[in-house]
Structure 1
């Protein structure tokens, strides 16, 4: 019996990205955190320098991670032995880099270039912009807000800038087309894509960026594929590599890898990434699927469109708001929420279950209120008309949405500020935990 699985598989391709551009929010969340603000500048270095210098240690780290994943992570797809990272001093840098990507099971097209995403509050216009194709394998969409500049090997750079830049990087194609039924997949042993549409490229990253950990036993029985989130695998991989890089004198890659890890925590703070359909009950999802099976698919398709529209409206509103504040040097509710250190102590200390039991649980619980805030805070036709597909017409409707929201934003503004308070607190708690774990490991 698979009605719920079929419904939500249609929803996910439009929801594979959670918060749009993470970097502007991470600049605000970390700029006053002592562990980041007071950290000494680090020297930028190409990835191959770290790999060449620490090849044997990286091999041990990745083997330990795989053993832990097999022991601890539910539904883990074991890494094929042929992908194991084996030290080989005789190979060249290009093959060593390719072997590293295979061992992590990241896209072969991953760039991992030397770059920064500039803070929109303080754009350094003296440095020429870097072509996005050198940084991301994903073509920037309409209204993309990222601006990249190149780093030179040996250049000193603030850890805040490295961290905030890397927090957006997992959306640059690192997790695309990795499953056995994706086009051009690299034989990584992940099996069929557990949810999302395998034919839609951006949707193929969904299982690495979403975690439906709290849908309940009935949902899980109807749609067992949705229990296969790979967020915890990516967290383990990146956090472990960050610790190794910090301990071995490669601080730039310590901050870079920890930023990659934090992206996945931050994605889970988005209710549309922790709940299959925040605006619909399980009973309603089953009902519209039953009707579709009997030849009346309109309600099911309407739910698909509305959930996608609401996610896009939330993301568009949040992105426009944070970017406008940054460019105008305004201090408002979003900036205050992102920085607020008093929120951090409301949660338990970072640990192995934090992403699932704390972050995802909170976002799942916030789903109905978030969906309701979008409905009352945005122009009705964007969030209640199942005939209007906002995602498919973003270039056309985006400016209109931004204009129309000016007079209707209070409820949505309050909810977005609350969610970004979660974003900031969980990001800082996770970073503290990863720094602590790195310091406790032997050098």
Structure 2
């Protein structure tokens, strides 16, 4: 098992899967009848929903925790001291803090009123909103998120609420929640124990176990690296999804769409092969070989493997994000947009169920890993994806233009591979949303 301990340092830079989810979600949902035809909703502060439905929220969160303890493999039970208990006498601030503790989200989570504008149709009527009002994580130099102000009572389309929220869990919700993270919640702790993989000292990497799912690595890998099986993506989908259903049922439609978007983010992350596989470009035998060499005093190949996997993930994310954003700003459609909207794909998959995240989404992305990794190697500039001495993440903002300019001759192959992955992204997003909407009228959820 010691031979696989190096994997614990692999994933801090992999915490984000698709860069900015919102532009893709605008395309994935803009022609879905359940979204496009839905009536406008009125923006509402979170504390108003919490105050109005405090008892129902308490029951929902308790039921979710009971379900998770029974059904989720590797679940870390929520400490009883974190239960959300209805208390009409407390302040709105205390009620909000108790809600975050019960969900085991970062106490720094903003959950503010905002919209992320569609780059295809930016809304110039609303004032811009600084990122610090929306996110606990500062924007990187190459960030594409653009926020605008939303006031309580403002009428807004469900599409805009949903697409905006699809990117939101990357805004600091899952940072520093483990016992060995700097600034981890305490008195009581959140109960997640020590961080199962990634460097616990790197803040952005601490969210990785909530945005990845290594469910299909195989028995040998799981024996050698059992901590990799401890991921909490399924928990987040169930938490946010259940709150969405409750909000819709109780007349808080804005928060129905908002919580639905939060749930979808974690599903969409697992459509990214680098989030469903520890190393899509390496066999188990190769990983074991480079570890053995490192144990014998030659760590260069091991470190090179780590760097290359990180670089390829970043290149895929940069290529996809820039392509989507550029096409949106030019109001152009191409293969990526077509794939995101392709509702004919939806019926290829079974209906939504709690097993869908693991057995459908993650399984498909894991299987797509080797072909995706190969397409990145063929399509991207060689220095970005084959040189283990080059760190793409450290030079991300400077290298974006170079990546767009210097794509190799097989960029069409890479685009086709990304289009296939975004087809998965769109179909799974719609299928999960349909599943949540069906629960709204189900007697079992009332």
Which range, TM-score by smaller chain?
over 0.9
Q: How far apart, in 2, do the equivalents of 1:333 and 1:107 lie?
A: 38
- Offset of 1:126 from its aligned partner? 3.0
1:237 aligns with 2:236: no
Q: Counterpart of 2:147?
A: 148
- Offset of 1:377 from its aligned partner? 0.2
| 8 Å contact kept, 2:31–2:341 | yes
Correspondence list, 1:126-137, <5 A: 126-137=125-136
Q: How far apart, in 1, do the equivalents of 2:437 and 2:222 lie?
A: 35
- Offset of 1:277 from its aligned partner? 0.2
TM value normalised by structure 1: 0.99
Q: Counterpart of 2:171?
A: 172
Q: How far apart, in 1, do the equivalents of 2:417 and 2:7 lie?
A: 24
- Offset of 1:270 from its aligned partner? 0.1
**1:372-430 deviations in whole A, cap 9, x for unaligned?**
00000001111000010001111222221121127541111000000000000000000
Aligned to 2:441, the other structure's residue is in SS state: helix
1:189 aligns with 2:191: yes
**1:104-139 deviations in whole A, cap 9, x for unaligned?**
000000000000000000011232210000000001
Q: How far apart, in 2, do the equivalents of 1:115 and 1:15 lie?
A: 26
Q: How far apart, in 2, do the equivalents of 1:198 and 1:301 lie?
A: 19
Q: How far apart, in 2, do the equivalents of 1:217 and 1:240 lie?
A: 32
Q: Counterpart of 1:70?
A: 69
- Offset of 1:142 from its aligned partner? 1.7
- Offset of 1:96 from its aligned partner? 0.2
1:3 aligns with 2:3: yes
Q: How far apart, in 2, do the equivalents of 1:2 and 1:436 lie?
A: 47
Q: Counterpart of 1:57?
A: 56
Aligned to 1:337, the other structure's residue is in SS state: helix
Q: How far apart, in 2, do the equivalents of 1:273 and 1:225 lie?
A: 15
| 8 Å contact kept, 1:116–1:149 | yes
Aligned to 2:88, the other structure's residue is in SS state: coil
**1:245-290 deviations in whole A, cap 9, x for unaligned?**
0000000000000000000000000000000000000011111111
Q: How far apart, in 1, do the equivalents of 2:130 and 2:399 lie?
A: 27
Question: Structure 1 unaligned runs (5+)?
Answer: none
Q: Counterpart of 1:282?
A: 284
- Offset of 1:344 from its aligned partner? 0.3
**1:5-51 deviations in whole A, cap 9, x for unaligned?**
x2322220111100000000000000000000000000100000000
TM value normalised by structure 2: 0.98
1:387 aligns with 2:389: yes
Q: Counterpart of 2:272?
A: 270
1:256 aligns with 2:255: no
Q: How far apart, in 2, do the equivalents of 1:135 and 1:143 lie?
A: 17
**1:317-336 deviations in whole A, cap 9, x for unaligned?**
00000000000000110110
Aligned to 1:127, the other structure's residue is in SS state: coil
Q: Counterpart of 1:41?
A: 40
Q: How far apart, in 1, do the equivalents of 2:2 and 2:259 lie?
A: 38
Correspondence list, 1:321-340, <5 A: 321-340=323-342
| 8 Å contact kept, 2:126–2:150 | no
Q: How far apart, in 2, do the equivalents of 1:9 and 1:391 lie?
A: 18
| 8 Å contact kept, 1:379–1:404 | yes
Q: Counterpart of 1:411?
A: 413
Q: Counterpart of 2:107?
A: 108
Q: How far apart, in 1, do the equivalents of 2:2 and 2:236 lie?
A: 28
**1:72-95 deviations in whole A, cap 9, x for unaligned?**
111111111110001110000000
Q: How far apart, in 1, do the equivalents of 2:358 and 2:111 lie?
A: 27
| 8 Å contact kept, 2:214–2:229 | yes
Q: Counterpart of 1:315?
A: 317
Question: Structure 2 unaligned runs (5+)?
Answer: none
Query: More deviation in 210-219 or 387-396?
Result: 387-396
Superposition RMSD on alpha carbons, in Å?
0.9
| 8 Å contact kept, 1:8–1:277 | no
